Amino acid sequence: MGLKVHPGIVSLGNECYVMAASIQAIYPRSEEEQVDTILPGHGSSTGKSVVLLRDGAKLGVCLKPDTVLSRYLKATRGDAVETT
């Protein structure tokens, strides 16, 4: 099943989304790092990322940073497309 990409909206998995304009940084999460909330991502993912929002909030995401970045880039490119 493909991921539906919506312009300006980044899917973080399990019906969790964030506005692309609110993202300041995406980076790997260490076990010790404190986050404001943890989003579920995908059960099969072994990745752990932090999505730092412009207001300073930190979202823990159970996806690899490259996956989050790829979704961010797709969300900032215009028309909705079906991807795998």
pLDDT tens for each residue of the chain, 84 residues long: 456 667 899 988 888 899 999 999 999 999 899 999 988 766 666 789 999 999 999 999 999 999 999 999 999 885 444 544
- What integer pLDDT is reported at residue 1 of this predicted model? 45
**Residue 42 maps to a domain:** yes
Residue 38's contacts (CB-CB under 8 Å, 6 or more residues apart) are 59, 60, 61, 62
Cβ atoms within 10 A of the Cβ of 21, count?
11
The parent domain of residue 8 ranges over 3-77
**Residue 50 maps to a domain:** yes
pTM of the model: 0.81
**Residue 83 maps to a domain:** no
**Residue 65 maps to a domain:** yes
Q: How many domains does the chain have?
A: 1
Beta bridge partners of 49: 28, 61
**Residue 82 maps to a domain:** no
